[in-house]
Structure 1
Amino acid sequence: MMTKSLIPTLLLALAAGIATHARAAGDEPTALSPQACQALHQELDAVAAHVREARASGAAHADAPDPYPALAQALEAHLDALKAGLPTPATPRAQAGELLSDMRDALVLVRGATHLEARLLAVQRLEDDRRLYNRLLETLGCSATRPTAL
């Protein structure tokens, strides 16, 4: 049985091993093109907008139709677009792939969970993964602040 103090040590060792392996393989993050950054940020912004809309719709009217199946359907296309635009360096690609996989798992709960609390937790997972995906893009040279069209 692992003690609580052993778990963080093991996680730190695993992270160090992954980072060492990535550096040894020459897999340092490389910048994405401005067009790729913009496309990925647009998809992530759309995910955030759909989540906000579903939360507002569910909170505003208790007798309103269930917004979660519509949310899941709306997010499918955005997750497909994010998958198509995965970064090419191996480590960031794997990290982005894991985040997308987690988002797709959350969609399963959003769509089919019988308890509202499970759906709310899944929506929170979507939001957290979206935030982490934005952080990943920052490591690849995509700025957090994007130019706006005038």
Structure 2
Amino acid sequence: MRFSTTQKYLAILILAIALSAGGIGYAVHCSKNKDDAGRGGALAVAVAFVVLFVSRGQGARVYDILAGEGPELLRKIEALHAGEAEAPAGADTGTLPAETKVNALVARLRTDSEEQRIQNIYLAMTSVVGTLVWGFGDLIAKRFI
């Protein structure tokens, strides 16, 4: 079963909330020390950082696509604008038309852009939850100890 981008990042957000609540629960029920309550928030922020830095580099992928396929696509597009049906002589005639490749490239870039937007939203929420509990979890735990 393959999870969607939203499902993956929602799971990370839920993990961050669980870690944050777990830190408060640990402080209240186990250590009885309010200062331990923020540790779950610190772990949640750490998870957000790991996901952020381990996730694939969108900028590098876009560069690789444009640098690798870009010159060939530009040649084919210029050939189309010059009135030729296909690329100049000597080019590989067994490949897809330039318009199809350009459309595929644009579609891929849009998909990557949407995935990046979803990642940014969920990791921002994860970081906010973790940071707030890291900073103020002791006040919540103090009420219950």
Pair in the same fold by TM > 0.5: no
Greater radius of gyration (CA):
2
